[in-house]
Amino acid sequence: MTAWNTHYIPPDKIQWRGHYDTPSGSSFFQIVQTMNLFEPITVSTQQQVFGLLGFKCDEGIRRNHGRIGATEGPSAIRQALATFPVQKENFSCFDVGTIFCQDGDLETAQLALAETIEILLHEGITPIILGGGHETAWGHYQGIAKVYPQQTLGIISFDAHIDMHPMLTGDKGSAGTAFLQMAKAHKTENRPFDYNCIGVQHASNIRSLFDTAKSYNGKLILADEIHEGQLEKCFDFIDRVIDQNEMIYLSLSLDVFSAAHAPAVSSTQPLGLTPWHVIPLLRQLAASNKVISYDIVGLCPRYDIDHITAKLAANLIYEIIHHHSEQPRTW
């Protein structure tokens, strides 16, 4: 018995709305197709195919005592992305539905997410996961590991938090444990663990988290360094990950941004980054031909102001799709 089919909601085309007088094929609401995973999947392998998959969950945030509301994030991101323009040809974009967490059972929801990502990757579809809290990352990673258990995987997280907190009672995870869970999985499997976090805030992580990251050879770029103008260091940092890995998993928590740009997150950051600190790095990664899967997490729409955080999330997806490499992969 699989978990995904009991935790899956097929896509709803009504979320993709726009201006009636927009020329055909000009905006995402016109080009996004729906894909019900309960039905046979048929996609063209002659062009890039992206799959937008929601993860309707904030149980990990609740366990981490954060501000809940991320369960509403996937719908808000879809609605914001709908009216964005399309500047690129020769790609397909599908809304493939949503995985939801039921009765606080985060572990089963993460398993369901992993199984769904496994389906998408096997079909040659590049997943873009719409969270959800950062507990999304553990489920997401497990799906990638199921399909590519041997390949070297670079993990890049844009986040104010290191997210390597100790496991909770009963060995349960939270929004703050995902990358420790990945580290332990790699250690168990005797695989190299290449974790890289960009935008870390000193004031948002206790000292022991820096020690934990160091113990697993995690590599960090502090928000301070970026604010001080060391963006070239970030480009070199990412180049190293690209060069040393066969594939990359990219996770972006919206709380890496300043609250001026992202007020609707579970943990606001007054000293966070600006979008133009992140977008050049996102473009570098998307163009690398190495990123196997993406997620954008942490949007809590009930706290948004004029939908600014949802629009920022949609902008990031716009950047991913328009800069993702068109070259065929060799693995």
Structure-token pair, residue 59 = 């149980």
- The confidence score (pLDDT) of residue 264 equals 98
Residue 305 lies in a domain: yes
Torsion sign, CA atoms 297, 294, 33, 41: negative
Domain of 17 in residue numbering reads as 4-323
Structure-token pair, residue 245 = 């890995």
Residue with tokens 């990990």: 60
Task: Give yes or no for a contact between 317 and 273, defined as CB atoms under 8 angstroms apart.
Answer: no
Buried b (16+ CB within 10 A) or exposed e, 219-229: ebbebebbbee
Residue with tokens 């113990």: 215
- The confidence score (pLDDT) of residue 29 equals 97
Structure-token pair, residue 323 = 């800069």
Residue 328 lies in a domain: no
Number of domains into which the chain is organized:
1
pLDDT digit string (tens) for the chain, length 331 residues:
589 999 999 999 999 999 988 999 999 999 999 999 999 998 876 789 999 999 999 999 999 999 999 999 999 999 999 999 999 989 999 999 999 999 999 999 999 999 999 999 999 999 999 999 999 999 999 999 999 999 999 999 999 999 999 999 999 999 999 999 999 999 999 999 999 999 999 999 999 999 999 999 999 999 999 999 998 999 999 999 999 999 999 999 999 999 999 999 999 999 999 999 999 999 999 999 999 999 999 999 999 999 999 999 999 999 999 999 877 565 5
Rounded to whole angstroms, how far apart are CA atoms 260 and 257? Answer: 8
Strand, coil or helix: 293: strand
- The confidence score (pLDDT) of residue 1 equals 57
Residue 329 lies in a domain: no
Residue 221 pairs with which residues in a beta bridge?
A: 198
Structure-token pair, residue 320 = 């991913």
Residue 330 lies in a domain: no
Task: Give yes or no for a contact between 156 and 196, defined as CB atoms under 8 angstroms apart.
Answer: yes
- The confidence score (pLDDT) of residue 329 equals 62
Residue 331 lies in a domain: no
Residue 241 lies in a domain: yes
**By CB neighbour count within 10 A (0-12 exposed, 13-18 middle, 19+ buried), where does 88 fall?**
middle
- The confidence score (pLDDT) of residue 330 equals 56
pTM: 0.97
- The confidence score (pLDDT) of residue 326 equals 72
Residue 106 lies in a domain: yes
CATH of the domain at 84: 3.40.800.10
